Amino acid sequence: MATLKQLRTRVASITNIQRVTNAMYMVAAAKMRRAQEAIESARPYAEQLDLMLRRLQGSIDSDSHPLFQQRPVKRLAVVVVTADRGLCGGFNGNIGRRARLELEDHKNVDIELTTVGRKGRDFLRNRGFDAAHHHADVYHNLSFAHAATIAQQVTVDFVEGRVDRVLLVFSEFRSVANQIPVVQQLLPIVADVPEGGGQAVEDYIFEPNPEQLLEALVPRHVNFQVWSALLATNAGFFAAQMTSMDNATKNAGDLIDELTREMNKERQSSITLELMDIIGGAEAVAH
């Protein structure tokens, strides 16, 4: 059984840990709110970009654009987006396991793996999947330029025929308590055909012509898909860390309460023994 001094040391140590986890919870909560605001700010642009692409696809043969062309998959590119840091529960592990399942499902084709975030790279490397390209410290100063760099790399590989399909694995941010690992096809872009097939119902006049607009908007669409994945994963990481640190703070409080009760029992036992010694000594003197 632990002594009273040992119990006091453990309580002091856990109290210090509780202060750290509580501070990390507050920092994660503040950063998560900013990450949420970034997602909300990007949403109107994404909606308008998707709307414009649908209108263009209804006006021309989008299959003529190289980023829409479907071909047999002989070489697959997989971009896995995770965080650089841990202390976020199973957040990174869930993305890594989803990516591993996707890689194993395509084991009959050549795979070119790209990782964003150290945790995903380490998870997959420890399971025999080495990354051909790796992007670290992206979240230290997250910017659209990072997304454009990643998107340009896979776009060039696809256009030049080095890969036949590009998949994006990341964590979709649905709420503070709900982050779901998803797999999204980045390239070739899947045409959004109107219900019933054929041309879109609306007849638009484009200036400049639809082909020029498509040439300008499609790369932006690819860039923005990667940017959205980075934003969602960043927000999901802070939400998961916030939840994890909140649980750690509560667990530390429960452990402190338990140790305090044990410490009080030990103190009471020590006082009782001292009283018994005093009473025994007084009775011995009296006789």
Decide if 153 is inside a domain: yes
| Mean pLDDT confidence for 42-58 | 81
Decide if 165 is inside a domain: yes
| Mean pLDDT confidence for 205-218 | 74
**In terms of Cα–Cα distance, which of 29, 132, 124 is closest to 82?**
124
Tell the residue number behind the tokens 């670290």, with chain if given.
136
pLDDT band, very low/low/confident/very high, at 59 (cuts 50, 70, 90):
low
3-state helix, strand, coil in the chain (%, to 5): 60, 15, 25
Decide if 189 is inside a domain: yes
Q: CA 28 to CA 36: how far, in whole Å? A: 12
User: Which are the contacts of 48, defined by CB distance < 8 A and separation ≥ 6?
Assistant: none
- pLDDT value, residue 58: 65
pLDDT digits (tens, 9 = 90+) for 95-133: 999 999 999 999 899 999 999 999 999 999 999 999 999
- pLDDT value, residue 191: 61
Q: Are 87 and 244 in contact (CB under 8 A)?
A: yes
Q: Are 157 and 77 in contact (CB under 8 A)?
A: yes
pLDDT band, very low/low/confident/very high, at 196 (cuts 50, 70, 90):
very low
pTM of the model: 0.85
Token pair belonging to 12: 């002091």
Decide if 227 is inside a domain: yes
- Of 10-24, 96-110, 125-139, 206-220, which range is least confident? 206-220
Our CA angle for 136, 138, 140, nearest 5°, is 110
| Type of residue numbered 227 | W
**In terms of Cα–Cα distance, which of 120, 63, 116 is closest to 91?**
120
- pLDDT value, residue 33: 93
The residue among 178 and 193 whose pLDDT is bigger is 178
Q: Are 115 and 126 in contact (CB under 8 A)?
A: no
pLDDT band, very low/low/confident/very high, at 201 (cuts 50, 70, 90):
very low
Q: Is residue 47 predicted with pLDDT exceeding 90? A: no
Tell the residue number behind the tokens 């994890």, with chain if given.
244
| CATH code (residue 108) | 3.40.1380.10
Q: Are 54 and 200 in contact (CB under 8 A)?
A: yes
Q: Which helix (H) or strand (E) holds 135?
A: strand 133-135
What separation in angstroms does the CA of 187 have from each of 159, 180, 233? 10, 21, 20
Decide if 17 is inside a domain: no
Decide if 172 is inside a domain: yes
Beta strands in the chain (DSSP E): 75-81, 110-116, 133-135, 165-175, 178-187
pLDDT band, very low/low/confident/very high, at 65 (cuts 50, 70, 90):
confident
Q: Is residue 63 predicted with pLDDT exceeding 80? A: no
> CA-based Rg of the chain, rounded to a whole angstrom?
29
Decide if 67 is inside a domain: yes
> Residue 135, exposed/middle/buried by CB under 10 A (0-12, 13-18, 19+)?
buried
Parallel, antiparallel or unpaired: strands 165-175 and 178-187: antiparallel
Q: CA 80 to CA 282: how far, in whole Å? A: 77
Q: Is residue 200 predicted with pLDDT exceeding 60? A: no
Provide the mean pLDDT of the chain: 87
User: Helices 210-286 and 91-105: crossing angle, nearest 10°?
Assistant: 130
- pLDDT value, residue 24: 96
Decide if 271 is inside a domain: no
pLDDT digits (tens, 9 = 90+) for 240-267: 999 999 999 999 999 999 999 998 888 8
pLDDT band, very low/low/confident/very high, at 202 (cuts 50, 70, 90):
low
- pLDDT value, residue 60: 66
Among candidate residues 78, 79, 83, 88, the one labeled active-site is 88
Beta strands in 228-279 (DSSP E): none
Determine whether 22 is an active site residue. Answer: no
Q: Are 234 and 142 in contact (CB under 8 A)?
A: yes
Domain that includes residue 120, residue range: 25-193+201-243
Domain count, the chain: 1
Q: CA 278 to CA 282: how far, in whole Å? A: 6
- Of 15-29, 36-50, 194-208, 222-236, which range is least confident? 194-208
